[in-house]
């Protein structure tokens, strides 16, 4: 009987939901890396879709797997379906934001990981593009428990990169301060202009620059509307540029590819900076 082809040396993506349990059982437990995309549906200003983070992280994981298929065809890469959930209570005063608690994020990630680990799988990459502290606290708590309960090797590549300001260090020089681009601003609008131009509302060109220091203690516990962010974005979306979007997308793909290889080779994954770890510790589950 001809079996469904799980070729590794081509650009075919193995989608978990398309496999039967026999095919899953046959995957080499020591050589299969699972990718779990998880990001919430969340308002992204009046100009970007609520699935901005979710679409980005799914596409980045897909591209990373295509690259890895060529680079390391001796390993298998399985893309799990996108979990469209995360903590985003701070902008849930806009329609379109669906928020769950960080504790639920933890339970979901742990459930995926432990269900796979129970069948001998060892490698899991959690792909998120959403950087809210309560959300990543959920992810990192689950990762810690998966490592201690099963010895599962896990990694979340984007948090350490993002929170160490690596983007500002590596991006092409732009002539303005991109560190203030927080949400649905220049970066994300550029990214969507590159990946999904038809989903970007043309009104972005007329949006004023709006900035808030989201690390300030004064913003703690406040919603976007309470902070006067009546359109739901922080940054300068009008500057968006598809060429930058392409750079940013490819950079993100590279970060994921590197993390997957490091994870497999047993290298210690990059850590979140201390101020983020402290913030996670200080935060009660919400």
CB of 186 to Zn ion, least distance (A): 12
Rounded to 5 degrees, what are φ and ψ at 273? -65, 155
Report the residue closest to Zn ion, judged by CB: 53
Q: How far apart are CA 54 and CA 236, in angstroms?
A: 21
**Shortest spacing between CB 238 and Zn ion, in angstroms:** 17
DSSP structure string for 226-259 = TTT-TTS-BB-GGG--HHHHHHHHHHHHHHHHHH
Please state the closest distance from residue 19 (CB atom) to Zn ion, in A: 30
Q: CA triplet 136, 258, 147: central angle to 5 degrees? A: 50
Of the candidates 60, 53, 73, the residue with the CA atom closest to the CA atom of residue 12: 73
User: With contacts defined by CB under 5 A, how many residues of the chain interact with Zn ion?
Assistant: 2
Q: Are 87 and 101 in contact (CB under 8 A)?
A: yes
Binding piece for Zn ion, criterion CB under 5 A, among 47-55, 95-103, 104-112, 114-122: 47-55
Q: Which is nearer to Zn ion, 52 or 195 (CB)?
A: 52
Closest CB 20 distance from Zn ion, rounded Å: 35
Residues from 140 through 179 that contact Zn ion (CB under 5 A) = none
Q: Rounded to whole angstroms, how far apart are CA atoms 144 and 17?
A: 26
Q: Which is nearer to Zn ion, 86 or 113 (CB)?
A: 86
Q: Are 190 and 58 in contact (CB under 8 A)?
A: no
Beta carbon nearer to Zn ion, 32 or 52: 52
Q: How far is the CB of 12 from Zn ion (least distance, A)?
A: 29
Which of 53, 156 has the CB closer to Zn ion?
Answer: 53
Which residues are 188's β-sheet partners? none
Task: Pick one of 43, 53, 63, 231: the residue that binds Zn ion (CB under 5 A).
Answer: 53
43 binds Zn ion (CB under 5 A): no
In the sheet that 153-155 helps form, which strands lie side by side, from edge to edge?
A: 14-15, 76-79, 32-37, 123-127, 153-155
Q: Where does this chain touch Zn ion (CB under 5 A) — which range of 49-57, 80-88, 89-97, 248-256?
A: 49-57
CA-wise closest residue to 177 among 250, 224, 238, 236: 236
**Residue with smaller CB distance to Zn ion, 52 or 252:** 52
Q: Which of residues 211-230 bind Zn ion (CB under 5 A)?
A: none
Q: Which residues bind Zn ion (CB under 5 A)?
A: 52-53
């Amino acid at each position: 009987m001809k079996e469904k082809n799980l070729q590794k040396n081509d650009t075919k993506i193995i989608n978990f939901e398309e496999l039967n349990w026999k095919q899953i059982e046959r995957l080499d437990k020591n050589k299969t890396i699972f990718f779990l995309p998880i990001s919430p549906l969340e308002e992204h200003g009046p100009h970007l879709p609520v699935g901005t983070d979710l679409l980005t992280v799914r596409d980045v994981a897909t591209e990373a797997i295509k690259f890895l298929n060529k680079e390391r065809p001796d390993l298998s890469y399985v893309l799990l379906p996108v979990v469209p959930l995360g903590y985003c209570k701070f902008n849930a005063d806009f329609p379109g934001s669906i928020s769950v608690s960080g504790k639920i994020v933890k339970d979901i990630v742990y459930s995926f990981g432990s269900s796979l680990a129970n069948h001998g799988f060892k490698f899991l990459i959690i792909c998120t593009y959403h950087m809210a502290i309560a959300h990543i606290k959920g992810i990192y708590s689950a990762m810690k428990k998966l490592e201690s309960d099963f010895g599962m090797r896990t990694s979340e590549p984007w948090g350490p990169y993002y929170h160490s300001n690596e983007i500002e260090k590596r991006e092409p020089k732009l002539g303005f301060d991109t560190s203030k681009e927080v949400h649905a601003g220049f970066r994300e609008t550029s990214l969507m202009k590159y990946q999904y131009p038809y989903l970007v509302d043309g009104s972005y060109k007329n949006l004023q620059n709006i900035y808030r220091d989201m690390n300030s203690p004064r913003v703690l516990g406040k919603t976007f509307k309470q902070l006067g962010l009546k359109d739901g974005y922080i940054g300068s979306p009008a500057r968006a540029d598809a060429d930058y979007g392409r750079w940013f997308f490819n950079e993100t793909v590279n970060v994921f590819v590197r993390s997957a290889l490091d994870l497999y080779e047993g290298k210690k994954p990059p850590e979140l900076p201390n101020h983020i770890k402290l913030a996670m510790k200080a935060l009660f589950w919400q």
